[in-house]
A and B are shown apart, each in its own frame.
Chain A
Amino acid sequence: EAGVAQSPRYKIIEKRQSVAFWCNPISGHATLYWYQQILGQGPKLLIQFQNNGVVDDSQLPKDRFSAERLKGVDSTLKIQPAKLEDSAVYLCASSLTPGGPQYFGPGTRLLVL
């Protein structure tokens, strides 16, 4: 069974530029999560999807971050414009059911200069 796929693995941009991350969850997993993880900290949930609907985006900085999950499968997370403090690893995870074990992709390391 293929795991959660994410791309790109690394991205370096300058502040005020835009960037997009892609995630493909495990086949059949209805729930998809985007996390931001700053070095030395645990993951922080940005947004949770159930199929193609948003369950929780209370911690998503909506003035600059957006996410979508068209057709309830792949998802993209966008940052526009990026700030220095957005430098982090962005993790995508999926689970078969809400509250079930979450399986993570390899993450995207973002560096904003």
Chain B
Amino acid sequence: SQQGEEDPQALSIQEGENATMNCSYKTSINNLQWYRQNSGRGLVHLILIRSNEREKHSGRLRVTLDTSKKSSSLLITASRAADTASYFCATETDSWGKLQFGAGTQVVVTP
């Protein structure tokens, strides 16, 4: 079964708006990562947050992690049409090497 599950499954917003998506997971983790995928292409790494961290930023991206709730959120601020993609969270537990992905959130940003 999947470790991480993203919510919502799909998100449609206009340029300039913020996009927030969430990831919930089931078991304790060592780290959680967010990836982006453009239509059938390879995934691209966005941010890694470790279990002892609560928030990380990278450009217009902000990731939070709440280990007590077993959840993470990815915020994209001031979205652009080029942010249109699918976004996946991936979790790594104590079983180093088993990096498990959720089903993803499909984000569409309209001009």
Same complex origin of A and B: no
**A residues at B contact (CB < 8 Å):** none
